[in-house]
Structure 1
Amino acid sequence: MHLTLSPARTTRKASAAAHARSASEPTHPALARLDVAVRALRAWSFCCCGGSGGSSSSSGYGLALLEAVLAALGELLATPRPAAALHDADHVLDAFLELADAYGTFGAALLAAKQSVADAEAGARRGDAAAVAAAARAHRRTEKELRHLAAAMRHASRHAAAAVPTTSAADATGTTAEVVIRVVAEATVAAAEASAAIFSRCAAMSPDVSAMVQRVSSHKWLARLGVAPVATKVAPEMGSAALERLEELEECLAGLESESEKVFRMLLQARVLLPNIHNPL
């Protein structure tokens, strides 16, 4: 037996489903913009999970999306009614404190990475294998620090995700405390997830200094044969390509350093605004 629902009944069911979906969606303009920015950032982070190598352009795009989230958050915190909902959300303040600290460390790591690349480039131009090797060691230390920072952000994202509240009784205005806290908490999760991806990809942006050192050191077997060592000079054939790669990487790191500084300043701004909400004058 085949039953056909009447158009009116079908329309009523569809309308009810749409209302159920939208009941917990923010409709306040500032909240809606933050929600859209968070979704875009999380989509980027999800796409990065499948990537294996580092990309300065991708990391730069991730930082730009994070800037958009923080800009929307700043707009929200300047709006009295939604901002008031965060008065007792201590976990949100803690999350942004952790993010600000992470980006302070990230900025210093990018500066160190840029310096090690510049040192490797200068050593290669002079034909100084010892300087190139020292730069490679310094860069590996920075990579290790970035990987640890990424791991810390992955842990922070899991911790923040566990604190995201559910909204079962939110109204359609999108300005209830439950909706505000949920969207802002999701923003902290998205920021931590994206930061982990950004830090990991930057750690993978290794220059070819290690390969350069290996090629220079490969001539050490000549010393065992009583031949004068030639490992004190960088092989000429590796010069132009390696130098070009190092120059490009130095430029990429400078761009990332600039973008990360913007994110850091915006996090500091949020770090100031949130305590003011918690402790109004």
Structure 2
Amino acid sequence: MAAASFHARSNSLPARSHPLISEIDEQICRLRQSQAASTSSSSSIGHNLNSLQVVYDCVDQLFQLSSTQQALINDQKCFNELLDGSLRLLDLCNTAKDALSQMKESVAELQSAIRRRQGGMEGETRRYLKSRKTVIKAIQKVLKGMENKKSTSSNNVETLSMLKEAESAVVKVLECLLAFISQTSSKPSSWSLFKRVASASSENEFADVDASLKTNKSKASSENEFAEVDASLKINKSSEEIQLHLKNLQPCIQDLEEGVENLFRRLIKTRVSILNIHNL
């Protein structure tokens, strides 16, 4: 009797035709099409972050179904993978949040220095670029580490397989976001995702600020009084360009921060749902 009861429950998994499964599948397909059709930009990444929020609203509803809960109870390996994966996604979100927060603070400090115009901008420029270097180094380390953490699960249950696909979609979008933040005006490094983003013909507000700061810095040194006047005029023009790029970067960071924070909250909710299943 126990065996028959177990068999009946295992057959009650949501089929592909289940509205939640269909919705998740459709959203992930749209997300993939969006990533394939557009180059990386703050607006496209923001759009993808919003799409992930819709996906995980459905995912959380899926975790509330008794059939999904039973499937995870019956498949301990998949359950552990999803639990570990949820923590990995939260760590990745935290990395993005920290990077954006640090860049927002650096942008505010640089804008303040430009407004004051006291003792030139060289010191603040160095501090900003140093902060950028720290952020980029931290992101590169995370992205390289992600290459060794791809899921190898071959679970054939459609519900569980769809949950793994949703997790994979989050990883790809957050990896793209981190690579976008890391892009500079200099030669890209060798790691694959960063190279793809940096070589794309898209606008990048972070790289624009880097380029204008480095251009401004290179114009500041001369031993010829006439040349110094010419350089100072060019520096003033460059300062205006820097201000423009900083003005564009500020709302970009704000929008991305909001997108990541909203996704983070949904991922927290999903992890709580997984842990609750463990206590059933």
2:51 is the counterpart of 1:69: no
- Cα distance change, pair 45–195 in 1 and its aligned pair in 2 (3 A): farther
Q: What's the CA shift for 1:47? A: 4.1
- Cα distance change, pair 137–100 in 1 and its aligned pair in 2 (3 A): same
Distance (Å, rounded) in 1 between the aligned partners of 2:125 and 2:30: 40
Q: What's the CA shift for 1:203? A: 2.3
- Cα distance change, pair 106–70 in 1 and its aligned pair in 2 (3 A): same
2:170 is the counterpart of 1:191: yes
Spell out, residue by residue over 1:23-53, the C-alpha distance to the aligned partner (whole angstroms, 9 max, x if none).
Answer: x9711122221222222223334446xx3xx
Show structure 2 runs of 5+ residues with no match.
Answer: 1-13, 184-205
Q: What's the CA shift for 1:214? A: 4.2
Is the deviation greater in 194-203 or in 214-223? 214-223
Distance (Å, rounded) in 1 between the aligned partners of 2:41 and 2:147: 19
3-state SS in 1 of match to 2:242: helix
3-state SS in 2 of match to 1:264: helix
2:105 is the counterpart of 1:115: yes
Matched with 2:153 is 163
Select the residue among 5, 23, 42 that pairs with 1:33.
23
Spell out, residue by residue over 1:115-145, the C-alpha distance to the aligned partner (whole angstroms, 9 max, x if none).
Answer: 1122222223324221122112112221332
Q: What's the CA shift for 1:228? A: 8.9
2:76 is the counterpart of 1:86: no
Q: What's the CA shift for 1:232? A: 10
Distance (Å, rounded) in 2 between the aligned partners of 1:78 and 1:274: 10
Distance (Å, rounded) in 1 between the aligned partners of 2:16 and 2:105: 45
Show structure 1 runs of 5+ residues with no match.
Answer: 1-23, 167-177
3-state SS in 1 of match to 2:17: coil
2:242 is the counterpart of 1:251: no
Answer whether contact 1:149 1:199 (CA < 8 A) is retained.
no
Matched with 2:141 is 148
Select the residue among 40, 55, 58 that pairs with 2:41.
55
Answer whether contact 1:64 1:259 (CA < 8 A) is retained.
yes
Spell out, residue by residue over 1:149-201, the C-alpha distance to the aligned partner (whole angstroms, 9 max, x if none).
Answer: 33444443xx22x21423xxxxxxxxxxx111111112112221222122212
2:182 is the counterpart of 1:203: yes
- Cα distance change, pair 242–228 in 1 and its aligned pair in 2 (3 A): closer
Q: Which amino acid aligns with 2:125?
A: V
Spell out, residue by residue over 1:93-113, the C-alpha distance to the aligned partner (whole angstroms, 9 max, x if none).
Answer: 111110011101211111001
Q: Which amino acid aligns with 2:216?
A: R
Instruction: Give the alignment's TM-score, normalised by structure 2.
Output: 0.75
Matched with 1:241 is 241
2:87 is the counterpart of 1:97: yes
- Between the two proteins, the alignment pairs up a number of residues equal to 237
Distance (Å, rounded) in 2 between the aligned partners of 1:25 and 1:37: 17
Distance (Å, rounded) in 1 between the aligned partners of 2:250 and 2:92: 22
Answer whether contact 2:220 2:232 (CA < 8 A) is retained.
no
Q: Which amino acid aligns with 2:171?
A: A
- Cα distance change, pair 234–115 in 1 and its aligned pair in 2 (3 A): farther
Q: Which has the larger radius of gyration?
A: 1
Q: Which amino acid aligns with 1:196?
A: E
- Cα distance change, pair 71–151 in 1 and its aligned pair in 2 (3 A): farther
Answer whether contact 1:67 1:262 (CA < 8 A) is retained.
yes
Q: Which amino acid aligns with 2:31?
A: L
Distance (Å, rounded) in 2 between the aligned partners of 1:274 and 1:255: 29
Answer whether contact 1:219 1:230 (CA < 8 A) is retained.
no
Spell out, residue by residue over 1:211-248, the C-alpha distance to the aligned partner (whole angstroms, 9 max, x if none).
Answer: 4244334432428x9x9999999921112222011011
3-state SS in 1 of match to 2:72: coil
Matched with 1:124 is 114
Q: Which amino acid aligns with 1:61?
A: H
3-state SS in 1 of match to 2:207: coil
- Cα distance change, pair 96–46 in 1 and its aligned pair in 2 (3 A): farther
3-state SS in 2 of match to 1:235: helix
Matched with 1:43 is 33
